[in-house]
Every structure is written in C-alpha cells, then in structure tokens.
Amino acid sequence: MQKIIDRFISYVAIDTQSDPNSKSTPSTEKQWVLANKLVEELKEIGMVDVSIDKNSYIMATLPSNMDKEVPTIGFISHFDTTPDFSGTDVKPRIIENYDGKSIILNKENNIVLSPDYFDDLVQYKGQTLIVTDGTTLLGADDKAGIAEIITAMEYLVNHPEIKHGTIRVGFTPDEEIGRGAHKFDVSKFNADWAYTIDGSQIGELEYENFNAAVAKVTAIGKSVHPGYAKGKMVNAISLINEVITQLPKDEVPECTEDREGFFHVNHLQGEIEKAELELIIRDHDKALFEGRKKLLNDIVENLNKKHGNFLSVEINDQYFNMREQIEPVFHVVEIAKEAMEVLDIKPIIKPIRGGTDGSQLSFMGLPCPNIFAGGHNFHGKYEYVPVESMEKAVEVIVKICEIVARN
C-alpha cells in the first residue's frame, strides 16, 4: 500500500494540465516533466526498450518469460490532467480508516466531501482515501492508472515465477483534450490488444463509449445605435440565444444517463457584432449521433432563413463508439472479466459516458477496452481515490497477464 501511495503522490505533485488551444504535442511543456520522470522509473524497475518520442509518447516492454508463443498485450494510461480545473500545487491528503462521514477538504472555504451528496463514499468506509485540499483536482485521472501499471510491472519483474507473455506499456499526453491517441504509433507498440487503465470505481469494465463531436456556432451581427435600431440592428448575442433555446432542453448532461445522448454548451462569448457558441455532441447510437449533428445544422439553416445569413456552424467528429471494433474480438473483454471475478471483484460492465484513448486506438487497429483505475469525481476539487481500489487494479493487471499466458 505504501509503495503505491508514494508513487501516486509523486505523480500528482507535478502539474500536467493540457491545453486545448495549443497546437503542439504535448499541448503544454510541463507535461514533459512527468513524462521524463516516468521514463527513468520504467528503466529503474527493469523494463526494456523504454522510449519517449518527440511528442512525449512513452513505450516500454516487459519481455516474455515463457518458452511458447503468447499474445502480446498492452496497458495504457495518460499523464495529462484536464484543463477544466486547476492541477497546480496539488496537496493530497490521506484519510486512513475512513469513518463514512463528511470529510472537510478546506475549512477556510467550507468545502466538504460529503456522502450525503457523493453517496459512493459509503462503500469505502474503513478504507484509506486520498483526497484534495479543496483548491485543486487530485489527478487520479489518470495518474492512478499510471501508478497501477508501473506497480504491476514492477511486481512481475520481481516475481519471475509468474508466467506471462510480452507486455507492452504506453503512456500518452493530451488525452483530456481528445488528442491522446492522435500520434500514438500502433505499429511500434506492436500488441495484439491492450487495456486502458482509465476508468472510475472498482470493477468498471467498459468496451463501448460515446460517439463524439465538437461544434462551434458563430453569429455575425450589425451594431446600430439602439435608439435607431429598428429594422437595422442584428444582435449576434440574440441569434446565439435562439440557437440554444431550440436545442432539446432535457437532452443535456445533467438530465441524461446510461446510453442517453446530449448536447452540452461549454463555452459562450459575444457582443452585438459577433458571438460564438461552443458545444459538444454525444450519443452512443451512431444513427442518433448523426441525427444530433443534423439537428444543429437544421437549426442554423432555419434561423438563417428567418433572419438572413448571419449564422455559421462548424462540426468536427472527435471519436466513435469502440464497441463495433471490440465485439469481433470479445475475448479481450472476457479475459478482463475473468481476472476480476477470480479476485472477487464484481465486474461493472457499462457504457462510458465519455471517451478514452482506447476508443480511438480501437479504430486504429488496437482493440482497447477500459478498466477501472479507482478514482471518483474526476475533474474537480471533490476528486478522491481509495488506495485499496488502486491495489486491486494492480492485481487485475497481473491476473490478466497470467490468464493470457495460461490460455
């Protein structure tokens, strides 16, 4: 337990926030700090063929210790954290033998992690939790996954009696801004399949995710003195507001669950002469996904007919549902499920209400379902991770390697 705690805390102390407005890879220079640390750590624990490329993608190998052919499998996590919340100067706290009650994260600002609101907390009573100080995120997404992969590889190095085939490890930048797999060299990684260790609570096993797109609507207006504006002024803010009000009001993140899709307005700025709306579009069903994009295009087209051509829309696909790539090789899911069951972990097989590097990698020829890393409440100050869940993730990784070798 102490080893994985120390490893994880050393990672979250390094700010690796990514930047969606940057064109470089990685999108922020500070991601290199942790990337270079991970390279040295992989070498220290005995991994071979450790490499980091010009875009900070890390790969390493644990050679097979068997005398027969065994599929090469991989484990992948990302080291950036979300730009949605500060990851600077993270000060994690360790709560031992959690009593099941509210945790005061920050007394000065009255920030409380309460099981009355976050009811998942109750299941970890008696366990060791790592929480924030209420001013930053924690970074368990996905530094917990990295700590678990490296700890599992170290365990296999130190226990050669455990038979396994060739294991590949990969760590990526910029996953949180949807670019984690964009420059991942699948042929260099050279695995038959892989698992991202990037899920949430213990037991999660995911092989389907949203189809995703990002959209930007721009309105160009005409500013005229309001006293003389009749028939002349075009208020770009009002046009953007009309777009928003014509979107289905209940098809938003806060009103949907499971496989239900949504529109999510995440940025809005403007003045009379120009206003811009940014939103993301999500749906598990491909036909419904295409229908959502068509709806937004239709709204803009109809408003242009009503007001004149003052609106434009740009929609770009981000990633697609990996289920169609995983189902033909479903044994990769069954192996992970078996590993959990052997370890008395109840598999929670459900669709991801988001995406991982694995969704893109699956379409790049590397089938890649997602396994829990243990954290909760990602992307904010209420984030926490139970250490026992991290330990179980390590055990699942080791057990998958054993099962693949045995089969």
* Residue-wise pLDDT tens digits, 107-143: 999 999 999 999 999 999 999 999 999 999 999 999 9
87, 17 in Cβ contact below 8 A? yes
Of 30, 61, 56, whose CA–CA distance to 43 is shortest? Answer: 61
Q: How far apart are CA 143 and CA 34, in angstroms?
A: 10
Give the list of residues 6+ apart from residue 97 with CB closer than 8 angstroms, or none. 126, 127, 128
Of 131, 180, 148, whose CA–CA distance to 31 is shortest? Answer: 180
Q: How far apart are CA 301 and CA 118, in angstroms?
A: 42
Q: How far apart are CA 401 and CA 309, in angstroms?
A: 59
pLDDT at 151: 98
Among the listed residues 175, 208, 383, 391, the single catalytic one is 175
Residues of the chain with pLDDT under 50: none
**Strand arrangement of the beta sheet that strand 211-220 belongs to:** 262-270, 274-283, 211-220, 311-319
* Residue-wise pLDDT tens digits, 73-107: 999 999 999 999 999 999 999 999 999 999 999 99
pLDDT at 178: 84
Cα angle, residue 392 at apex, residues 376 and 181 outer, rounded to 5°:
60
127, 388 in Cβ contact below 8 A? yes
204, 370 in Cβ contact below 8 A? yes
Q: How far apart are CA 223 and CA 241, in angstroms?
A: 17
Parallel, antiparallel or unpaired: strands 211-220 and 311-319: antiparallel
| Domains of the chain with bracketed CATH | 2-208+321-406 (3.40.630.10), 212-319 (3.30.70.360)
Q: Which pTM was predicted?
A: 0.88
Please state at what angle helix 2-12 crosses helix 140-158, rounded to 10 degrees.
140
Question: Does the annotation mark 80 as catalytic?
Answer: yes
pLDDT at 40: 98
Among the listed residues 15, 19, 41, 80, the single catalytic one is 80
pLDDT at 352: 86
